[in-house]
Amino acid sequence: MKTEFFTASQFPRNYRAFTFVEVMVATSIALFLFISFYAALASGIGTIQIARENVRATQIMVNRMEGIRLCRWDQLTDTTLVPTNFTETFYPNAPIGNQGFTYTGTITIAPAALANPATSYSTNMYRVTIQLDWQSTGPPHTRQMTTYCAKYGIQNYVWATN
């Protein structure tokens, strides 16, 4: 078997190294992949932040709603027990100044607008609506939760009168 050794000068010029065009194409592909990865990462982080804000808003509304469900019928319209306006922070347990942005909430308690107002219990129900507004990044956000409270509901069993 005969083996031939060639020196670098014996190879044709286009076999010695990458051309400038090949390097530029490879660099542009790598740059495109890097920018795409960065954009996907930034989008994912933004989506997670919005999800965290929505979860915290839901947590605040459910907390207020459960407190309202424990009130007696005569306490529902008492604004000292059930304030119509309130504020909560994103990080409530953090030191003051590091609690993040503020959620502003309103509680509306009104007679229930039932489909058939002639029913016998239409005057014995309230419609409770809690709305939260907040501004973190981007446009303002709003979430709302609604429930009904009945005069002879669960609160009579929790707060049994003697």
What's the pLDDT tens digit per position in 20-40? Answer: 898 999 999 999 999 999 999
Instruction: For 107-158, write each residue's pLDDT tens digit.
Output: 999 888 776 766 667 778 889 999 999 998 888 999 999 998 888 776 666 6
Task: For residue range 70-97, list pLDDT tens digits in order.
Answer: 888 888 888 888 889 999 988 888 888 8
pLDDT band at residue 62 under the 50/70/90 scheme: very high
Say how far residue 53 (Cα) sits from the centre of its chain.
3
SS (H, E, C) 93-139: CCCCCCCCCEEEEEEEEEECCCCCCCCCCHHHEEEEEEEEEECCCCC
Name 122's Cβ contacts closer than 8 Å, sequence gap at least 6: 111, 112, 114, 116
CA distance linking residue 15 with residue 106, whole number of Å: 74
Q: Where are the domains of the chain?
A: 17-158
The side-by-side arrangement of strands in the sheet containing 141-150 is: 85-89, 102-111, 125-134, 141-150
**pTM above threshold 0.85:** no
Give residue 16's pLDDT: 63
